[in-house]
Structure 1
Amino acid sequence: MNKLNTFREAVNPESLCNQACAAADDASALLAAALKPTATYSQVTLALEAILALTAKGLAGDAAAYAQYQSLLLELHIPGDARTEPTRRWMASQVYRMEDEFAPALSDFSALPVDQFREKVDAEIAARTRVKHPMSVHLFQGSPPLEDVRFFLQHHWNRSYNFYSLLAELAFRFEAIEDASVFYRNLYGEAGAEAPDRSHPALLSHLMTYFDIPLQVDFPALHPLEKAYLNNRIRCVRHTDVAWGLALLYAVESVSCVNHRRIYELLQRLGVPEEPSEFHRLHGTQDEIDTEEMWELIAKLAPSATFQRQFMQSLTRHFEINRAYFDMLWQQMQEQSGQPA
């Protein structure tokens, strides 16, 4: 029997907490109360039960519930009052546990020797790369208007400006320093090495400033699918099973050079000066080293069939969310510029 169907049949959101479900539409207010430093345990659990009810409904196909739970989860992920950090992380971790129940079943899964496993992973990434998406074809092989480029870069900033935090989160999942050091070396480069003004967020901000794109992200205003994309990245690197985070970051890093090179070439065609383009020029060449170091760590863990299954579940979920997110951006871009959707 399909595990996903079994879970959907077994979990009745009303069984989570009748009181919480009665107040599901007011879950934002419940969460706001729960995130006050003076909140009681009962306020925290009441808010969590409301969020879990929305999560179960959303993952079972309720679009409104899905949008609301992604918004509330992103609120838990965004840094806030330091006094509520433990509460926010604990509440988010309970949402992750429910999301795990809906992980792709992978009915055709079978463990492979490590070298064949990498071939399978790389083939899957190559087949699902963003470069083949219609929006990418429009931007990188066509003659996009400036407003389309600016729209793309704005959302590129939303998902890229704090990439360093994903590396830091995943590094903490490893007890052995030689394993964690893979991410610390990458993080050192992200932070600009010995020159903080050369940090990658700082370099990328120059491009945003050039295109007059605000650096402050308006998280509540983001589309639910963009929130889902950002939430899944944080969920994966915080997951107690490191296969989830490794799959997510390997998928991102392994195509980084190609993606950034395409963006740099686009900027060159538009006549963007070298200084604001530097972030993409650098990333068009240097991320291959990070990818190989990360695979060496993956290869140490890959003999485990459980690791391979979780890795592929993470990869599958990432690409499902990524595709929906890029489809949404492409539709919005076309609507913005008056093109037929």
Structure 2
Amino acid sequence: MNKTRTANDTENPEFVSGQMGIYNISASPLLAEALKPGATYSQVTLALEALLRLASKGLSGDTTAYAQYQSELLNLHLPGEPHTEPTRRWLASQVYLMEDNFAPALTEFNVLPVEQFREKVDAEIAARTRVKHPMSVHLFQGAPPRQDVRFFLKHHWIRSYNFYTLLAELAFHFEAIEDASVFYRNLYGEAGAEVAERSHPALLSHLMTYFDIPQRVDYSALHPLEKAYLNNRIRCVRHTDVAWGLALLYAIESVSCVNHRRIYELLQSLGVPEEASEFHRLHGTQDEIDTEEMWQLIAKLAPGESFQRMFMQSLARHFAINQAYFDMLWQEMQKQSNHNP
């Protein structure tokens, strides 16, 4: 089904302002019952039906339903009571199928030889890079005030601190150890190799401490478009078609070095100490190896038409959500600056 206008459309004033109206559909009470010990199949089914109705309306363009379904989906994704994990994962997987039904059709899709396919993928990523976004231009080519940098880093923490979980999720989809090892080697680095204190979340936490940014995320307070961004990352690495997860992680890793170098240079210009900047200094050099290893795995699967099609659909969805998310952050950053001259 091809939807030309969805809740990701940032021209919708309700999302730009963040003002949501009252919506009658609510899956929360039914989901709460479905996740209680001893819940019946009937209760789980009723919760799923309500959630899918909410998702369908949200994906059809209803911004309030979209916000609510993204909140419910994020709650299913977040760690909770162990006994609810199988049910939460199954409910989330059914939402993924609904989202698949609303995936826009690809324009001018053609199966390509692997070498040309990589050229197409890299060109698409280069064309949609965040470096060209107005917020990035402001931060990395202008003279941003400290409050804008802190705002950016706060949301960067939300995106980055648990990146390792995405690698772990995708690794489980590969039966052959030589394929899964691509992600395990990456995880080894994320975990700090032999020194836990050198783990990437630990290194990044030093920067959060320096800027006095809370390290505990209040997920309920996040903007719907930020929830959508986080949900899509989890959705892709859990998707039964590995093309979705590979496309997402390749898109993130392939631009990681340049993005982190720019952040490191920004921190240096502000006089941030080396200990607090180390996470970004490291990522400004080492992610190129991870990118190449990941591409070698992609190349093994890329000759198939289905793989290429799903891979490009995953990229298109990632960039659409990413654009809406960064537009929202840029608007919030400007609003904050206007209120605090």
Give the AA of the match of 1:103.
Answer: A
C-alpha contact (below 8 Å) 1:24/1:53 kept by paired residues:
no
Q: Could you say which residue in structure 2 is the equivalent of 1:323? A: 323
Quick check: 1:189 aligned with 2:189? yes
C-alpha contact (below 8 Å) 2:56/2:98 kept by paired residues:
yes
> Which residues in structure 2 correspond to 1:163-242 (within 5 Å)?
163-242=163-242
The structure showing larger relative contact order (alpha-carbon pairs under 8 Å, at least 6 residues apart) is 2
The alpha carbon displacement at 1:185 in A equals 0.3
SS of 2:215's partner is coil
Quick check: 1:259 aligned with 2:259? yes
Q: Could you say which residue in structure 2 is the equivalent of 1:310? A: 310
Deviations 1:232-274 (A, max 9, x none): 0000000110000000000000000000000000000000000
Give the AA of the match of 1:4.
Answer: N
Deviations 1:148-201 (A, max 9, x none): 000000000001010000000000011111000000000000001100111000
TM-score, normalised via structure 1 length: 0.92
Deviations 1:178-233 (A, max 9, x none): 00000000000000110011100000011001101011000010000000000000
The alpha carbon displacement at 1:5 in A equals 5.6
The alpha carbon displacement at 1:27 in A equals 1.4
TM-score, normalised via structure 2 length: 0.92
Deviations 1:85-140 (A, max 9, x none): 00000000000011011112103100101000000000000000000000000001
Structure 2: tracts of 5 or more residues without a match: 7-22
Q: Could you say which residue in structure 1 is the equivalent of 2:107? A: 107
The alpha carbon displacement at 1:33 in A equals 1.9
C-alpha contact (below 8 Å) 2:3/2:102 kept by paired residues:
no
Quick check: 1:245 aligned with 2:245? yes
Displaced runs of 4 or more, over 6 A = none
SS of 1:104's partner is coil
Q: Could you say which residue in structure 1 is the equivalent of 2:287? A: 287
Q: In the aligned structure 2, how far is the partner of 1:303 from the partner of 1:74?
A: 34
The alpha carbon displacement at 1:25 in A equals 2.8
Deviations 1:13-37 (A, max 9, x none): xxxxxxxxxx963311221222222
C-alpha contact (below 8 Å) 1:140/1:262 kept by paired residues:
yes
SS of 1:307's partner is helix
Q: Could you say which residue in structure 2 is the equivalent of 1:132? A: 132
Q: Could you say which residue in structure 2 is the equivalent of 1:75? A: 75
SS of 1:144's partner is coil
Q: Could you say which residue in structure 2 is the equivalent of 1:335? A: 335
Q: Could you say which residue in structure 1 is the equivalent of 2:2? A: 4
C-alpha contact (below 8 Å) 1:34/1:47 kept by paired residues:
yes
Q: In the aligned structure 2, how far is the partner of 1:29 from the partner of 1:247?
A: 35
CA change 1:229–1:5 in 2 (3 A) is closer
Give the AA of the match of 2:206.
Answer: H
C-alpha contact (below 8 Å) 1:189/1:199 kept by paired residues:
yes
Give the AA of the match of 1:216.
Answer: R
Deviations 1:284-305 (A, max 9, x none): 0000000000000000001001
Q: In the aligned structure 2, how far is the partner of 1:48 from the partner of 1:209?
A: 41
> Which residues in structure 2 correspond to 1:128-167 (within 5 Å)?
128-167=128-167
Structure 1: tracts of 5 or more residues without a match: 9-22
Quick check: 1:32 aligned with 2:32? yes
C-alpha contact (below 8 Å) 2:225/2:324 kept by paired residues:
yes
CA change 1:5–1:225 in 2 (3 A) is closer
Q: Could you say which residue in structure 2 is the equivalent of 1:84? A: 84
The alpha carbon displacement at 1:4 in A equals 2.1
Q: In the aligned structure 2, how far is the partner of 1:334 from the partner of 1:265?
A: 22
SS of 1:26's partner is coil
Q: In the aligned structure 2, how far is the partner of 1:26 from the partner of 1:190?
A: 38
Q: Count residues in correspondence.
A: 323
Q: In the aligned structure 2, how far is the partner of 1:41 from the partner of 1:171?
A: 31
Q: In the aligned structure 2, how far is the partner of 1:5 from the partner of 1:172?
A: 32
C-alpha contact (below 8 Å) 2:3/2:103 kept by paired residues:
no
C-alpha contact (below 8 Å) 1:52/1:98 kept by paired residues:
yes
Greater fraction of residues in helix: 1
Q: In the aligned structure 1, how far is the partner of 2:207 from the partner of 2:37?
A: 38
